[in-house]
Chain A
């Protein structure tokens, strides 16, 4: 079975540019999570969706960050304008939320470098 698919794997761009990260969750999963990983702050939850609806976006650092989930098989995380401090590895994860103990399955991440 295909896992969580993220694209691009690597992104290098100039400060001020718009960055769009993409995620395809595992088919049938109804929860989707965006995380940011840095050495200083570890793994931080940015936002998560349940059935395509944003449930908690309290981890989104600033208005420059936005996330959408237009359908069950696709989500985007956008940064506009980007800044050097946004450099990090961004992970998408999905799970089947049934009220039970379903694990989150992570993609391999997008390594973002803002110059």
Chain B
């Protein structure tokens, strides 16, 4: 119930392509869905996030699409660049005990080639 399933595990696209990373969840109590970007040797950093009452959110070249009925959400990266090569994690928050606990997906290693 607390799992967030993420796919694919790895992804290679050409510069300018649109990589899409998918996540699915079971727990309908999740109320906030962030995506984190992680570069080698660094901690994850918040990229973009969405609430379940919104179907799409854009920030620059990054877009989250959210399908509440299917309990799925995805990250699209428009006009991908080599600098976008990183590991991407989806996550979901369940408010428990007054905390701000995130459950993370298993990550997607993205490589953008020239």
Contact = CB atoms under 8 A, between A and B. Distances in A.
Do A and B bind?
Answer: yes
Interface of A: 4, 31, 33, 42-43, 45, 48, 50, 55-56, 91, 93, 95, 97, 99, 101-109
B30 interface: no
Interface in B15-35: 32, 34
Interface residues of B, number: 25
B83 interface: no
Contacts of B106: 42
A59 to B, nearest CB: 10
A108 B107 contact: no
Given A43-B104, A91-B43, A108-B42, A101 B99 contact: no
B101 A48 contact: yes
B12 interface: no
A89 to B, nearest CB: 9
A95 B91 CA distance: 15
